[in-house]
Amino acid sequence: MPVNNIKGEIMKDPQNILFIVSESVPFAKSGGLADVAGALSGKLAEKGHRVTVVMPYYAGIPVELTRSPEPPFPMNVWMGNTEEWCLVHSKKIQKNLHYYFIDFQKYFFREGLYHDHAMHDYEDNPKRFAFLSQAALYLCKTKQIKPDIVHAHDWQTSAALAYLKTHHWDCPFLGGAAGVLTIHNIGYQGKYPRDAYEYLGFREKDFVPEIFEDHGGINLLKGGIHFADIVNTVSPSYANETLTPEYSHGLDPLLRKKGDRYIGILNGVDYAKWDPSCDTLIARTYHTRNMEGKKQCKAILQKKMDLYRQEQIPVIGIISRMAAQKGLHLLAKSIEAIVNNMQVQFAILGSGDKNLEDYYGSLPRKYPGLIGVHIGYDNVLAHAVEAGADLFLMPSLYEPCGLNQIYSLRYGTLPVVRATGGLDDTVEQYDESSGTGTGFKFYDATPRAIFDTVGWAVSTYYDRPKHYRAMQERAMKKDFSWEESTLRYEEAYRRAKEVKKTYDIKHTL
Ligand code: ADP
C-alpha cells in the first residue's frame, strides 16, 4: 500500500523492515556498526519504510533515552528446549521507526557489550546474541509485525536468519520475509565451542562445515551467510578483498558460492552530527569559505592534548579502536622516527588492546608537547580531533568501510591511509603534478610505508600549501551521505525478495 514519507511524498513500495542489531546510536555503541544501524534505520523510515529495530537493553543505556509512554511487556522465547522470559521496552523514535529493547538481565545487564573491562569475551556470547535474534522473531509474533525483510548484522544476529529459514513458525508473520545479512567486519565471526549448540536450537543437520561447523566449534557468521538471501559488506573494495583468502578470515569459499548475491554497499555518514559547519560539539564551526574556526579548533585541541601551542606545526589525528586490524602495531614501529625526524605533532584517542594502550599511553612522557594521547572512549574529544587536526592517519591492515576518514574529509583534515577496503574507495590519491586528490594513500602494510607517506603529507603541508588548501576544499565538498547508500539497500531488499521467491518456488515444486 502506498504511504507518505516524511516529506509528504507518496512512496509506492514501502517495505516492512526488521533490523536486528547488537548496537545502535544513540543507545549503545562500540564502533561503526552502531553508527550504521542508527543512521540507516532512520533514513529508511524517513523514506516511508516501516522499520522496527530490535536490540538489547544493556545496563549502560541511559533510562531517559528509552523512556516511553508505552509500558514494557513480558515475552517468552524458546531457545531449543529452554523457555526464557524477558521484558520488552518499546519506543517510537520518529514516524515509521520503532525501537524494541530486549530486557533480559541474565544476558544484557552487564558492564560491556561483548566483553568485560579486561577485554575478555563473555563466554555466553553465542547464547546472548542468539537469544536476541530469536527474541526479535518472537516479537513479530507477539506484536503481529509482518516483516518483508529481516536484516541481520554481523555474527551477533546471524542466528536470526537461521531461525527465520528453518523454524516452522506457527504464525503467518514470518513466512514471507527475505533475509539480508550485512557483514560489517569479517574479522569477527562469533566462533564458540559446540557446547552452546543445543541451547541455540539450530537443527542438528546444520552442524556441517558448509553452515555452522568450524573446526569442531560453532561459527555463527558462517551460518548467517548460508541462510541469507543477500549478503553485503560495507564497501565495494572490501567485498572484493573478502573473496580472497588474504582478507576473508577463512570465509572466501562460502562468499564466492553466493556469487552475485554478495555485494558491497559503501556506508554513508551522518552529516547532521559530523559536519564542521554545524557541529555543536566543537569550539568553533567553520566551512570551506571561512576556515578561521579550524585554527581555533586546532589551538584548543593542542591545549586539550598538552601539545605545544604552535599554529604552523601540523597535527596528525588518530581516533581508533586499539586493535591489530587498525595497524597501530605498525605505527608503533615508526611513530618515534616520525616525531624525531619531522616537525609534527600527534593527537591520539583510542582504547582497546592493553599492550597498545600501554605503549601509546607512555609516549606523552617521552615526547612531551609532541605526542598527546587520551586512552578511553570520548565522543566529544573525537569531534575535537577531527576539527583540530590537519592530517588524519589510518594505517589499517584492513578496513571494511571506515568512518573516520570520511569524517576527516568533511572536516578538511586530510586522510593518510592504507589503500584497503573503504579507505581505498573514499580517499582519492594526491597527485603532486596536478595538485588533485583528497588524501595520501600507501599500499604496503609496513612501518616504512607509514613513515614515507606521513613524510609526503607533511612535506605537502609545508612546501605546497596551495595544493594542501585545494585538497582541503575538495575533500570538504565530497558527499558520502546516506542518500545513495540507502538507495542501494533498497535495491538489495528488492533482490533479496526475488531470491527468496525463486527459492520458495524451487522448494514447493
Ligand atoms: P570500527 O567500527 O572498526 O571501530 P569505524 O571507523 O568504522 O571503525 O568506526 C569507528 C567509530 O567509532 C567512529 O565513529 C569513531 O569516531 C568512533 N570511535 C572509535 N574509537 C573511539 C574513541 N576512543 N573515542 C570516541 N570515538 C571513537
* Cell numbers describing residue 216: 569442531
| Contact 377 CB / ligand 1 (< 6 Å) | yes
Give the pLDDT confidence score for residue 11 in this predicted structure.
74
| Contact 31 CB / ligand 1 (< 6 Å) | yes
pLDDT-based confidence at residue 433 (cuts at 50, 70, 90): very high
pLDDT-based confidence at residue 134 (cuts at 50, 70, 90): very high
> In whole angstroms, what is the distance from residue 420 CA to residue 406 CA?
14
Question: Once rounded to an integer, what is the mean pLDDT over residues 272-276?
Answer: 94
Q: How many angstroms does the Cα of residue 402 sit away from the middle of ligand 1?
A: 8
> Tens digits of per-residue pLDDT, 324-377?
899 999 999 999 999 999 999 999 999 999 999 999 999 999 999 999 999 999
| Contact 356 CB / ligand 1 (< 6 Å) | no
Q: How many angstroms does the Cα of residue 184 sit away from the middle of ligand 1?
A: 13
Statement: residue 292 has pLDDT above 90: yes
Q: Name the nearest CA neighbour of 384 among 286, 273, 272, 301.
A: 301
| Contact 378 CB / ligand 1 (< 6 Å) | yes
> Could you identify the atom of ligand 1 that is nearest to the CA of residue 325?
3
Give the pLDDT confidence score for residue 31 in this predicted structure.
86
Coil vs helix vs strand at 126: helix
Q: How many angstroms does the Cα of residue 319 sit away from the middle of ligand 1?
A: 7
Q: How many angstroms does the Cα of residue 203 sit away from the middle of ligand 1?
A: 37
Residue of 267, 351, 403 to mutate, ligand 1, most atoms within 8 A of C-beta: 403
Residue of 321, 399, 423, 485 to mutate, ligand 1, most atoms within 8 A of C-beta: 321
Residues of the chain with pLDDT > 70, as a percent, come to 97
Question: Once rounded to an integer, what is the mean pLDDT over residues 85-95?
Answer: 97
Statement: residue 32 has pLDDT above 90: no
Kindly report the average pLDDT of the chain as a whole number. Answer: 95
Write the secondary structure of 469-502 as one string of H (helix), E (strand) and C (coil).
HHHHHHHHHCCCEHHHHHHHHHHHHHHHHHHHHH
| Contact 382 CB / ligand 1 (< 6 Å) | yes
| Contact 319 CB / ligand 1 (< 6 Å) | yes
Give the pLDDT confidence score for residue 12 in this predicted structure.
75
**Residue 183, burial from CB neighbour count under 10 angstroms (0-12, 13-18, 19+):** buried
Residue of 270, 281, 319 to mutate, ligand 1, most atoms within 8 A of C-beta: 319
pLDDT-based confidence at residue 6 (cuts at 50, 70, 90): low
> Could you identify the atom of ligand 1 that is nearest to the CA of residue 320?
20
Statement: residue 508 has pLDDT above 90: no
Statement: residue 509 has pLDDT above 60: no
| Contact 328 CB / ligand 1 (< 6 Å) | no
> Could you identify the atom of ligand 1 that is nearest to the CA of residue 267?
7
Which range, of 117-126, 382-391, 469-478, averages the lowest pLDDT? 117-126
- The residues that bridge with 174 in the sheet, in sequence order, are none
- The residues that bridge with 101 in the sheet, in sequence order, are 55, 89
- Whether residue 77 contacts residue 131, with contact meaning beta carbons closer than 8 Å, is answered with yes
> In whole angstroms, what is the distance from residue 218 CA to residue 194 CA?
6
> Could you identify the atom of ligand 1 that is nearest to the CA of residue 30?
12
Q: How many angstroms does the Cα of residue 85 sit away from the middle of ligand 1?
A: 34
**Residue 11, burial from CB neighbour count under 10 angstroms (0-12, 13-18, 19+):** middle
Question: Once rounded to an integer, what is the mean pLDDT over residues 409-431?
Answer: 98
Q: How many angstroms does the Cα of residue 94 sit away from the middle of ligand 1?
A: 26
Q: How many angstroms does the Cα of residue 320 sit away from the middle of ligand 1?
A: 6
Q: Which domains does the chain have, with CATH numbers?
A: 16-268+483-508 (3.40.50.2000), 292-480 (3.40.50.2000)
Question: Once rounded to an integer, what is the mean pLDDT over residues 188-209?
Answer: 97
Hey, whose CA ends up nearest to atom 9 of ligand 1?
32
Give the pLDDT confidence score for residue 154 in this predicted structure.
98
Give the pLDDT confidence score for residue 425 in this predicted structure.
98
Question: Alpha carbon of 55 to those of 28, 113, 180, 340, 402: distances in Å?
Answer: 9, 11, 17, 47, 23
pLDDT-based confidence at residue 93 (cuts at 50, 70, 90): very high
Statement: residue 110 has pLDDT above 90: yes
- Whether residue 139 contacts residue 84, with contact meaning beta carbons closer than 8 Å, is answered with no
Hey, whose CA ends up nearest to atom 12 of ligand 1?
31
> Tens digits of per-residue pLDDT, 151-167?
999 999 999 999 999 98
Q: How many angstroms does the Cα of residue 32 sit away from the middle of ligand 1?
A: 6
Give the pLDDT confidence score for residue 3 in this predicted structure.
64
Q: How many angstroms does the Cα of residue 351 sit away from the middle of ligand 1?
A: 10
Q: How many angstroms does the Cα of residue 392 sit away from the middle of ligand 1?
A: 13
pLDDT-based confidence at residue 171 (cuts at 50, 70, 90): low
Give the pLDDT confidence score for residue 465 in this predicted structure.
98
> Tens digits of per-residue pLDDT, 234-245?
999 999 999 999
Q: How many angstroms does the Cα of residue 315 sit away from the middle of ligand 1?
A: 19
Statement: residue 80 has pLDDT above 80: yes
Whole-model pTM over 0.85: yes
Higher-confidence residue of 84 and 173: namely 84
> Could you identify the atom of ligand 1 that is nearest to the CA of residue 382?
25
